[in-house]
Amino acid sequence: MATDSRAVARPAETLAAPVVRLGRLELLRRRPALLAAGAVVGLAVALVAGVALGSVAVPPDQTVAILLHRLLGLDLGVSWSAPAETIVVDLRLPRVLTAMVVGTGLAVAGATFQGLLRNPLADPYVLGTASGAALGAAIGVLVPLRWLVLEFGLVHGLAFAGALLAVFTVYRLSRTGSLGTLTGLLLTGYAVGSLLAAGLALVMYLSGQNLRQIFFFLLGGFDGASWLRLAAAAPIVLAGVLAIALRARVLNAFLLGEETALHLGVDAQRERAILLGLASLVTAAGVAVSGLVGFVGLVAPHVVRLLAGPNARAVLPVAALFGASFLAIADLVARLVGEVPVGVVTAVVGAPFFLYLLRRARTGYEL
Amino acid sequence: MTVAWPATARPTTAAPPLALEARGVSLAYRDRAALRDVDLSVAAGERLAVIGPNGAGKSSLLRCLTGLAAGAGGSVGRSGSVHLDGVPIEELDRASVARRIAVVPQQVDLPFAMRVEEVVALGRIPHEDPLRGLRERDRSAVGRAIGRVGIGHLVGRDAREISLGERQLVLLAMAIAEEAPILLLDEPTVHLDLRHQVETMELLRALNERNGVTILAVLHDLHLAAHFFPRLVVLDGGRVVADGPTETTLTAGLVRDVFGVDPAVVRLHLAAEG
């Protein structure tokens, strides 16, 4: 439950009427449950649209009937053809669900990094995850080994490992410095990221005809999605997201800085390490599955904060739902436009929004 | 141990237990000593002000008393001991310290838009149910704190858009919402106008006398310290140079020696020296 401003205002004592200047969206802020319900509806719409639409459209009623039949065992009395079921269940459903899982992970990781680093411009890649994953994947492309474990190749494995290794390195290096912890983390992240980016540039330069494959990874996409890959990545992402959501109290305590978090009873050093680890794990799993999809992790938490306020108890679950819908729709648009990389779509939507945020950041974005 | 706040709970025993006790505390940032061999005993239900020039170690003392400087991480070295209710503070976890000691920080910066009442509600974090969040009694504590500090007119405003002084009152309300038996304040009046300075001091006195809250405030304003606090602790160069009842502690010599100013500029009745 988020802070309910009406409940706060209830004890009559000396409280004046709250300043009303928030307009229609105030209702959502006061009732995060309503916002969450809306986000669930949005998620369902994204699921049906993502599965129904594509190069071959499956009628929405059949799509819903197939989904309910396969996911919940319900029978709506609508009949469908075998090819429609194959398209829905074997081709599109794993892809849409993968996009949703990755979107959830990136949104929650983004909210976590922004809250921990107290930086509205932080995203899941800010501490070197992106460059670590990219370098790992690029090396994976160049190494002529083609093992597959759970349909994951060396590219995915090295991307996962690279992302985690990069964050771990940044964290360890920043701990020995004398700068303030947060500035130290950010600057170390930037420095290590630059170093890894140089490595990536070198690998790309040396990659010859494999360049296109590396490039694909950097832009991100879900065309390689399958049930087996989803089954491998989803537990990591969802468990991480759940573990972060259970620490909403800690993220709230960090809102006023580390020292205040300590005064409010949070073991700041330990909790920061745990949350950084969880968010990095979630990010790394997402990146290994789908490459570097940008902007979801930056934008989703801001949209939710705009609607629900900064309370992590509302931000985390709603951002999780919103990130899932956003990435599923972005992937749908990417497919409909003709298999452009999903990273292009999220950036086309995300970058203008980001500019809009920057414009409002000067005055704060209280609605 | 919880304290029922609305009830009056003044300790009446002849020797009240020590709420906070520092023994031989020294603190150094790298090679610069911030505190040197500081002894300080604060009985439950006491109200005292810590004064001293800039850099005297006042904020460092607050950090030590809350156990923050305990983990000797890299550049910070600490020796001596701090006891909270007779228990070494490093043996307590942060949550139980937070339920006993509320701290009013000097200023904080807010990275995200946040409403005044949302900031105040952060004070309930030590009492919050980890899963369910704020409950009814937390909400009413927030409402009470907002009422006591008199910032009801700020409810609904973005805490980043109000004045520094108003934000200082919001932070005070946050700490009061914690309803802890000990309240530490780090220069709570620096940004306040005269009326709010006095009102804040009167609120602290009421909390202390009516609710039995132990109060330790770092203050710059000698007038406020002298008028509202029965006990003064004077820090200079990381040492306690005076500690006692305000009437006998605040002498002209002290003002001259510690602050390096002519005592005549302090329009106070200063105690005779010696």
pLDDT in tens, A268-326: 888 988 999 999 999 988 888 888 888 889 888 988 888 788 889 889 999 999 999 99
Give, in order, the Cα–Cα distances in Å from B80 to each of A175, B33, B89, B97. Answer: 25, 14, 11, 18
pLDDT of the residue at B30: 73
Rg, Å, chain A Cα set: 21
From residue B108, how far is each of A260, B26, B124, B236 by CA, in Å? 8, 26, 17, 26
Apex B234 CA angle, B76 and B91, nearest 5: 40
| Assigned domain for B139 exists | no
User: Are A263 and B143 in contact (CB < 8 Å)?
Assistant: no
What 3-state DSSP class applies to B140? Answer: helix
Of B95, B115, B132, the CB nearest to A265: B95
CATH number of residue B44's parent domain: 3.40.50.300
Q: Give the residue on A whose Cα is nearest the Cα of B97.
A: A265
Split into its structural domains, chain B has a count of 1
In angstroms, what separates the C-alpha of A43 from chain B's closest C-alpha?
Answer: 24
Size of the A and B interface in Cβ pairs below 8 Å: 154
Higher pLDDT, A35 or B102: B102
B105 contacts on A by Cβ (under 8 Å): 256, 259-260, 263
Enter the tokens of residue A112: 């976590």
Smallest CA-to-CA distance from A327 within A98, A171, A67 is with: A98
Q: For residue B18, what are the β-bridge partners?
A: B43
Residues A233/A283, Cβ–Cβ less than 8 Å: no
Specify the pLDDT at position A110.
94
Question: In this structure, is residue B272 part of a structural domain?
Answer: no
Judge whether residue B54 has pLDDT over 70. yes
Render pLDDT for A207-232 as a digit per residue (tens, 0 to 9): 888 888 888 888 888 888 888 888 88
Amino acid at A149: V
Mean of the pLDDT values across residues A248-269?
Answer: 90
In a domain, B26, yes or no: yes
pLDDT at A31 over 80: no
The H or E element that residue B84 is part of is strand B76-84
Average pLDDT over every residue of A128-146: 82
pLDDT of residue A185: 83
The mean-pLDDT minimum among A204-213, B73-82, B110-119 falls in: B73-82
Checking if the pLDDT of B73 tops 50, the result is no
Check CB contact under 8 Å for A249 and B130: yes
Q: Look at A266 and B117 and tell me if their CB atoms are within 8 Å.
A: no
- Candidates A155, A160, A187, A182; CA nearest to A276 is A182
Residue contact B111–A255, C-beta within 8 A: yes
Percent of chain B whose predicted confidence (pLDDT) is above 90? 46
pLDDT digits (tens, 9 = 90+) for A76-88: 777 888 888 888 8
- The structure tokens listed for B185 are 């304040």
Q: Read off the tokens for B238.
A: 């990381």
B215-229: average pLDDT:
92
Distance CA A18, CA A211 (A): 58
The average pLDDT across A142-152 equals 68
Q: How far apart are CA A129 and CA A198, in angstroms?
A: 15
- Subunit contact B133:A313, Cβ cutoff 8 A: yes
B152–A13 CB contact, under 8 Å? yes
Cross-chain Cβ contact B147/A15 below 8 Å: yes
Q: Which residue among B110, B140, B156 sits closest to A5, beta carbon to beta carbon?
A: B156
- Chain A residues touching B76 at Cβ < 8 A: none
Looking at the complex, report in whole angstroms how far the Cα of residue A122 sits from the nearest Cα belonging to chain B: 11
Please choose, from the candidates A75, A115, A152, A112, the residue with its C-alpha nearest in 3D space to the C-alpha of residue A280: A112
Q: In what order do the strands lie in the sheet with B18-29?
A: B32-43, B18-29, B76-84, B87-88
Which are the contacts of A178, defined by CB distance < 8 A and separation ≥ 6? Answer: B74, B75
Strand-pair category, B239-245 with B231-236: antiparallel
pLDDT band per the 50, 70, 90 thresholds, residue A146: low
* Predicted confidence band of residue A24 (pLDDT cuts 50, 70, 90): low
| pLDDT value at residue A362 | 47
Candidates A263, A271, A303: best to mutate against B (most CBs of B within 10 A) is: A263
Q: Which fold has domain A30-361?
A: ABC transporter involved in vitamin B12 uptake, BtuC (1.10.3470)
> Which of B62 and A359 is assigned the larger pLDDT?
B62
Neighbour-count burial of A348, counting CB atoms closer than 10 A to its CB (0-12 exposed, 13-18 middle, 19+ buried): middle
> Taking CB atoms and an 8 Å cutoff, what residues of chain B touch A15?
143, 146-147, 152, 155
Who wins on pLDDT, B184 or A204? B184
> How does residue A68 score in pLDDT terms, banded at 50, 70 and 90?
confident
- Which of A3, A16, A310 faces B117 most closely, judged by CB atoms? A3
Region of B185 please: left (phi>0), alpha (psi -120 to 50) or beta.
beta
Do A255 and B122 count as a contact with CB atoms less than 8 A apart? yes
Whether B114 sits inside 8 A of A309 (CB atoms) is: yes
What is the per-residue pLDDT for B2?
46
Q: Residue B128 domain-assigned?
A: no
* pLDDT over 70 percentage in chain A: 85
Range of the domain at B232: 18-107+180-265
In angstroms, the first-to-last Cα distance of chain A is 20
> What is the distance between the alpha carbons of residues A79 and A62, in angstroms, rounded to a whole number?
7
Min mean pLDDT across A54-58, A107-111, A188-192, B101-105 is at A54-58
> Looking at per-residue confidence, does B174 or A127 come out higher?
B174
Residue A331 phi, psi (nearest 5): -65, -40
Select the more confidently predicted residue: A140 or A19. A140
The reported pLDDT for the residue numbered B175 is 95
Whether A365 shows a pLDDT value over 50: the answer reads no
B150 to chain A, closest Cα gap in Å = 7
- Predicted pLDDT at A103: 95
Looking at residue B72, what is its pLDDT? 41
Chain A nearest-CA residue for B179: A264
> Using H for helix, E for strand and C for coil, what is the string for chain A?
CCCCHHHHHCCCCCCCCCCCCCHHHHHHHHCHHHHHHHHHHHHHHHHHHHHHCCCCCCCHHHHHHHHHHHHHCCCCCCCCCHHHHHHHHHHHHHHHHHHHHHHHHHHHHHHHHHHHHCCCCCCCCCCCHHHHHHHHHHHHHHCCCCCCECCECHHHHHHHHHHHHHHHHHHHHHHHCCCCHHHHHHHHHHHHHHHHHHHHHHHHHHCHHHHHHHHHHHHCCCCCCCHHHHHHHHHHHHHHHHHHHCCHHHHHHHHHCHHHHHHCCCCHHHHHHHHHHHHHHHHHHHHHHHCCCCCHHHHHHHHHHHHHCCCHHHHHHHHHHHHHHHHHHHHHHHHHHHCCCHHHHHHHHHHHHHHHHHHHHCCCCCC
Report the percentage of chain A scoring pLDDT > 90.
23
Lowest mean per-residue pLDDT among A338-342, B93-97, B201-205: A338-342
State the average pLDDT over residues B135-164. 90
Mean pLDDT (whole number) for B250-265: 84
Mean pLDDT rounded to a whole number for chain B: 85
* Residue A5 pLDDT: 42
Task: Pick the range with the lowest mean pLDDT from A250-254, B74-78, B204-208, B266-270.
Answer: B74-78
**Residue A37, φ and ψ in degrees, nearest 5:** -65, -45
Q: Looking at the domain assignment, is residue B234 inside a domain? A: yes
Structure tokens at B73: 């991480």
pLDDT of res. B151:
92
Q: Which of A204-208, A267-271, B198-202, B266-270 reaches the highest mean pLDDT? A: B198-202
Query: CB A263 to CB B102 under 8 A?
Result: yes
In the numeric block, the tokens 């949005």 are attached to A42
Query: Is the pLDDT assigned to residue B96 strictly greater than 50?
Result: yes
Average pLDDT over chain A, rounded to an integer? 81
B71 has pLDDT over 70: no
